[in-house]
Amino acid sequence: MENKPDIVRIIEQEGIELKRGTGICPFHADSKPSFRVNKDKQTFHCFGCGEHGDVISFIMKLKGISFPEALIYLGISRGAPVKVNPAIQIEKQIQKDYEKTIHDLYESLCQQSRKLHKVRIKVKESPGALTEQGAAYFAGLMGELAEIEFKIDILLKGYFEDKINLLRGERNAFGREIKQSAVA
């Protein structure tokens, strides 16, 4: 039992006055202080009635409650607390990351496509008007689009490692706060 509270503190809380670890026994009609508490051993013993034990049995006897009830009364947890499996947490985070990244990529794919579409329409309207700058802009957009498509491709069909590397990169690109441990 890990987190047992201090026996002296509990006994005093229950209204038993202790002087140098000795007091009036609550378990028998004690006329002289025969109830001893050993702080080092965290036990009690009565030289009058022979009752003895630790803080849990003290509370059980004093309150007339069961062992599990005494644990609850004293706020003692049984065994180690249930821990969330970190592997599952990480997996969930990656999955969330993954979905968010795909969403963001599709979003930028749509944006780029709209831009490209506008350029295409302009060029269509006046083919001679495409300046060198315009052509470079167009090429740039095409390049970005290809990159986004490439990333989406990796996320949907790529190797696990590539996905993870991509997620790491995109995480920064989209300025999202994700714990390093999630994909480290």
Please report, as ranges, the residues that interact with Zn ion according to CB under 5 A: 25, 27-28, 46, 48-49
Q: How far is the CB of 69 from Zn ion (least distance, A)?
A: 22
**Residue nearer to Zn ion on the CB measure, 4 or 28:** 28
**Residue nearer to Zn ion on the CB measure, 28 or 115:** 28
The whole-angstrom distance between residue 176's C-alpha and the CA centroid of its chain comes to: 18
**Residue nearer to Zn ion on the CB measure, 35 or 98:** 35
Within a 13 Å sphere around the CA of 15, how many CA atoms are in the beta-carbon half?
3
- 50 dihedral zone (left: phi>0; alpha: psi -120 to 50; beta): left
Q: How far is the CB of 22 from Zn ion (least distance, A)?
A: 12
Q: How far is the CB of 89 from Zn ion (least distance, A)?
A: 52
What's the CA gap between 113 and 106, in Å, rounded? 10
